[in-house]
């Protein structure tokens, strides 16, 4: 089945700077890449996603990039705020599969 690698596992950035989380996948048939945010003690929630027919998508301060040739996708958070501190999970869905494959997560810590 699909494998998704997510790096880094912990990311510390200064408030106001940008944060980047990178994921890679193995199956070239993967066609949907969502990102979930999990705040402490809470459940994961979808924050942004991208389909394989796109290379870039932006929702406010969130930017997702997809490089299908390299089988990589990334989440960029611009102008980070304390509320961005959370666990972030990337995931991939392979065409014909019945499930998402999640990365192991990135703990993002925004330092004042």
Partner 1 sequence: DMKVTQMPRYLIKRMGENVLLECGQDMSHETMYWYRQDPGLGLQLIYISYDVDSNSEGDIPKGYRVSRKKREHFSLILDSAKTNQTSVYFCASSQGQNYAEQFFGPGTRLTVL
Select from 23, 103, 108, 110 the one that contacts partner 1 (CB under 8 A). Answer: 103
For strand 106-111 and strand 30-38, is the pairing parallel, antiparallel, or unpaired? Answer: unpaired
Binding of residue 61 to partner 1 (CB under 8 A):
no
Binding of residue 51 to partner 1 (CB under 8 A):
yes
Across the strands, what pairs with 63?
Answer: 58, 76
Select from 17, 29, 104, 111 the one that contacts partner 1 (CB under 8 A). Answer: 104
**Number of residues this chain uses to bind partner 1 (CB under 8 A):** 23
Q: Give the separation between CA 73 and CA 25, rounded to whole angstroms.
A: 8
- The answer to whether 62 and 47 have CB atoms below 8 angstroms apart is yes
Across the strands, what pairs with 67?
Answer: 72
Stretch that binds partner 1, among 22-30, 66-74, 78-86, 90-98 (CB under 8 A): 90-98
DSSP code of residue 84: G
What is the contact surface with partner 1 in residues (CB under 8 A)? Answer: 1, 6, 9, 32, 34, 36, 42-46, 49, 51, 89, 93, 97-100, 102-105
């Amino acid at each position: 089945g699909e494998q998704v690698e997510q790096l880094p596992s912990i990311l510390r950035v200064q408030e106001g700077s940008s944060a980047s989380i990178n994921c890679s996948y193995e199956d070239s048939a993967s066609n949907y890449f969502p990102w979930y945010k999990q705040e402490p003690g809470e459940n994961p929630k979808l924050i942004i996603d991208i389909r394989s027919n796109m290379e870039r998508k932006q929702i406010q301060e969130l930017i997702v990039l997809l490089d299908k040739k390299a089988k990589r996708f990334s989440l960029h958070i611009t102008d980070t705020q304390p509320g961005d501190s959370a666990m972030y999970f990337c995931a991939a869905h392979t065409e014909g599969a019945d499930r998402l494959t999640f990365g192991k997560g990135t703990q993002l810590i925004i330092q004042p």
